[in-house]
A and B are shown apart, each in its own frame.
Chain A
């Protein structure tokens, strides 16, 4: 006889992926393979101006000469870029209004809990003005299905549309800013994206406007053997404010799918952009079969004085994550922030972090990173804080914590600090801990079931980051962690 305690923390973790269904819909797909012709074909399908076609081709030619990066702490078999299809879209004309959208697609978003009906949202809103509204751009495989609340936003002068639409409606803005933060040759995946990007979201908030609602893009990969390459461009003009949310899911499939997005943010004088992501791409099964390769370049430019960009990310999905949302702090007194929770389980691998490049005077950056590794997963934080010689009185604070659950997982921290400025102050702290048996026992003694206890402890560990998320997202993020930590007991 003995006190038979059977639940170790690792046994409590068994992830159930609820967004793993496939939508049965007719899709128009380009055959696998990548060439100048394919790039031209994508551009032609989107009826793009010549300059953009040329821009894509230039990116493609540069990409051909580049090597895939190998420095990240992740392992995967070589990707055959000729085996991927670079374009997939639901068949037929692009719907002009929600009524024309294929009901099957609407059902998909409903199942995912994404509101595409404005009325539904509005009904609740008018009675409760404190309830924030969310406008959604829904991207399904390579194209944007619909963007909600466009009219309401238009009244405030806010442009929120699919990228393809912006190319036609706001060519000057697109031409001016596209590739201005992430140049097309920036890195291997950014170059690939620049050549073949299909759709994404475009936001412009004019001078002095505080965007009246949260803007949100929901990315869904559905088709088989395709990659998703979206491009997001957000411009906050002087004195404006916008909060933008991004969500992602994909069906459960046995093969790996590539997602290589580029996000560019531009904040001018006194503007603020808050960019939040809940990344829940399919992570693969417990043996590491399938899942999304998430190789994403996200960068914000604080161009203006007193501008402010913050990245908040909750990463629970993807087989492999390679992602470093960064901020270039060029404007004096500008602020960059990075708040991250990355949870890896089973065979997932994440190499994620941020770069804060301080160029302007009195620039400030804060990095809070919480990595949780469970199962056989590997979770790495990689960061760079650079204080350039002109960054007078620049400040950075970094807190980087890892939580290990089980003895088969791994946690790494690679923070680069480069200071070329006497009065710049950089502080970096990191700790590694685990969910201790004593913590678990204390919770259980008080009557809290082990899985609930682990999820509570993990949530507590992430508190500093969740605090930065918009309300609905914070709840979603917290639930997502709970789902990830839910599982068979005993």
Chain B
């Protein structure tokens, strides 16, 4: 059984059809990259999977580990093992990163029938994780994304992903706006996360992240549908030739 299954997904946003029949199958241990130009529907796909308000599923299904996500609340999708690294992580002033992460982790534990971690234990775990990722430990004491730089926000998403250990991680343009150092940290985080039992879906504009995280499959999303799938070499073709050649294929 595949881990994430998107079948014939049609999605409307504000009465406009953005996705018209997306199919995607992600198996354990795989890394998928979804590429496409601006406005092709990449963020619509990730937001729909995560359950963002305002994305209406017309037809089609979303399954995680065989369970349909369509009628689940966002937090229930999270408990099912879905993680979305946001393209634009929001700030929550006054709520420290530590507090936020502990609340999230405790909520997950509660769902699994486990008791909450003691603060001491949690802080110890977090310190280890933070030092492994070479983040400044001060990071945990600051408000969630509050006056974080673009790079820090993206690192924070990776930290949360490692901390929650989901089955499927969707990363929405996590590479955009990063300098080369931050890009490497993000890539290192993804490689560390990757296990035979989980899967990663990278949504990206550019090939450069894919130099550090090599995908098993590359899909091209154009005008709300996947027009081409291939291996890592497809990303290189796109880098060289752009999307125009596919556009012609898609609209004969």
Contact = CB atoms under 8 A, between A and B. Distances in A.
| Binding partners A and B | yes
Interface in A360-417: none
Residue among A436, A442, A447, A450 facing the most chain B CB atoms (10 A cut-off): A447
Interface in A408-451: 436-439, 441-450
Interface in B62-87: 70-71, 73-75, 77-79, 83-84, 86
Interface residues of B, number: 39
Contacts of A460: 92-95, 99, 143-144
9 contacts: A2-B56, A2-B57, A436-B90, A444-B73, A444-B75, A445-B50, A445-B75, A448-B100, A448-B103
Given A445-B77, A457-B92, 7 more contacts: A1-B70, A445-B50, A445-B75, A448-B75, A449-B75, A457-B95, A459-B95
Interface in B139-175: 143-144, 160, 164
B42 interface: no
Interface of A: 1-5, 436-439, 441-450, 452, 456-457, 459-464, 490
B48 interface: yes
A463 B143 CA distance: 10
Given A3-B53, A463-B94, A447 B86 contact: no
Contacts of B100: 443, 446, 448, 456
Tell me whether chain B's interface is mostly helix, strand or loop, or mixed: mixed
Contacts of B59: 1
B104 A3 contact: no
A3 B94 contact: no
A445 B104 CA distance: 9
A441 B99 contact: no
Contacts of B160: 446
A445 B100 CA distance: 12
A110 B164 CA distance: 41
A464 B103 CA distance: 20
Contacts of A443: 92, 100, 104
B56 A3 contact: yes
B108 interface: yes
B90 A442 contact: yes
Contacts of A450: 75
Given A2-B56, A3-B56, A4-B71, A447 B93 contact: no
A441 B53 contact: yes
Given A3-B51, A3-B53, A456-B103, A447 B94 contact: no
B119 interface: no
A444 B48 contact: no
B111 interface: yes
B89 interface: yes
A1 B60 CA distance: 9
B57 A3 contact: yes
Contacts of B89: 442
